[in-house]
């Protein structure tokens, strides 16, 4: 799900588009490409391209499930993933590109603002295993990031990533979920990137989601109130699997001091039928007058929102 690759040559983009169009024009081929084995092979190739050890990456991904570390070609930073899980999908959304897009490459206006800041500050809500943090600190080496992650398994890898890159001075981690209030909350852990707070109106056992290959475990976690945190940042990334609606619908959203937000919105938990329209309307009403869609998918999408005049906050 994801912003455009600014450095990709036009010819490469046209070739990829031509290939996609050719596949879409042949129903049998289109069906074959969408099968799980072919999609997995595509993910392996994309992931292998972004690391310094592509053959080892591919071998691990094609073998049994295993946690392993890899180094990025672009920044040289190290990350850890659990092979043969959705970790690889998230890696490709951020670094490998999906339909010639990267998730968190900001719109030019936002990029120019952050680039001009000698030490940009960022909040990472729903840090998962730290791939956004690795991207951001590779893209903006002088940035400072505060990440929040409540899932114990994800949190363990996140902290290892911070340590192995020796980034403790600029990357802090809080073991908590983020909502619009503090306290203990039920949380469905063990879903990799899809771990999430349990909706109060719907027990975890009643919720249905695509199979992630994991066994969920409902636990109690602590949540923090976003609006009670220091939210005067250049960029706020929010991917909290439906938990975003408690924040987006809070009257205090207008007081949020973030200059820009990159949001993965979800239909889950949305108070209205059209989740994308609702997210955009709430953000604009709170003063984030500029919006840009990165992806508009079934059930979720990625949206950038930023203030036209950051000094107004």
Q: Which residue has the higher pLDDT, 313 or 211?
A: 313
Running DSSP on this structure, what letter comes out for residue 31? H
Residues 6+ apart with CB under 8 A from 83: 60, 61, 63, 64, 65, 66, 67, 68
Query: Which segments of the chain are extended strands (E)?
Result: 67-71, 78-82, 121-125, 144-148, 171-174, 177-179, 183-189, 196-197, 217-225, 235-238, 260-266, 290-296, 300-306
Distance CA 116, CA 150 (A): 32
- Average pLDDT, whole number, for the chain? 86
Measure the CA–CA gap between 180 and 223, rounded to whole angstroms: 9
Task: Judge whether residue 143 has pLDDT over 70.
Answer: yes
133 has pLDDT over 80: yes
pLDDT in tens, 205-258: 444 444 455 567 899 999 999 999 999 999 999 999 999 999 999 999 999 999
Of the chain, the end-to-end C-alpha distance in Å amounts to: 29
Q: What stretches of 43-190 adopt beta strand conformation (E)? A: 67-71, 78-82, 121-125, 144-148, 171-174, 177-179, 183-189
Beta bridge partners of 82: 67
What is the band of 9 on the pLDDT scale with cuts at 50, 70, 90? Answer: very low
Q: What percentage of the chain exceeds 70 in pLDDT?
A: 81
Task: Average the pLDDT over 20-38 and give the result.
Answer: 58
Residue owning tokens 């991904």: 61
Domains (ranges, CATH) in the chain?
Answer: 10-96 (no CATH), 108-312 (3.40.50.150)
Query: Whole-model pTM?
Result: 0.85
Higher-confidence residue of 17 and 273: namely 273
pLDDT at 222: 96
**What are the strands, taking DSSP E only, across 97-182?**
121-125, 144-148, 171-174, 177-179
pLDDT of residue 252: 98
């Amino acid at each position: 799900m994801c912003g455009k690759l600014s450095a990709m040559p036009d010819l490469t983009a046209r070739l990829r588009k031509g290939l996609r169009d050719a596949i879409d024009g042949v129903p049998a081929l289109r069906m074959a490409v969408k099968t799980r084995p072919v999609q997995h092979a595509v993910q392996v190739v994309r992931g292998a391209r972004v690391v310094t050890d592509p053959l080892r990456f591919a071998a691990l991904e094609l073998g049994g499930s295993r946690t392993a570390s890899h180094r990025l070609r672009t920044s040289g930073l190290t990350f850890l993933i659990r092979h043969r899980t959705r970790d690889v999908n998230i890696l490709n959304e951020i670094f490998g590109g999906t339909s010639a897009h990267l998730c968190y490459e900001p719109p030019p206006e936002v990029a120019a603002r952050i680039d001009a800041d000698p030490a940009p500050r960022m909040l990472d809500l729903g840090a998962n295993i730290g791939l956004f943090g690795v991207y951001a600190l590779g893209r903006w080496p002088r940035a400072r990031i505060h990440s929040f992650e409540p899932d114990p398994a994800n949190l363990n890898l996140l902290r290892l990533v911070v340590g192995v890159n020796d980034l403790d001075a600029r990357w802090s981690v809080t073991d908590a979920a983020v909502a619009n209030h503090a306290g203990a909350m039920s949380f469905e852990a063990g879903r990799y990137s899809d771990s999430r707070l349990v909706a109060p109106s719907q027990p975890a056992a009643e919720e249905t989601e695509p199979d992630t290959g994991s066994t969920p475990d409902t636990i109690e976690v602590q949540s923090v109130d976003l609006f009670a945190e220091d939210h005067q940042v250049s960029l706020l990334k929010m991917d909290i699997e439906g938990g975003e609606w408690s924040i987006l619908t809070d009257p205090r959203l207008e007081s949020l001091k973030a200059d820009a937000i990159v949001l993965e919105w979800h239909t889950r938990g949305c108070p209205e039928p059209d989740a994308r329209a609702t997210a955009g309307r709430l953000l604009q009403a709170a003063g984030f007058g500029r919006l840009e869609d990165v992806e508009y998918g079934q059930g979720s999408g990625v949206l950038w929102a930023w203030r036209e005049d950051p000094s107004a906050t």
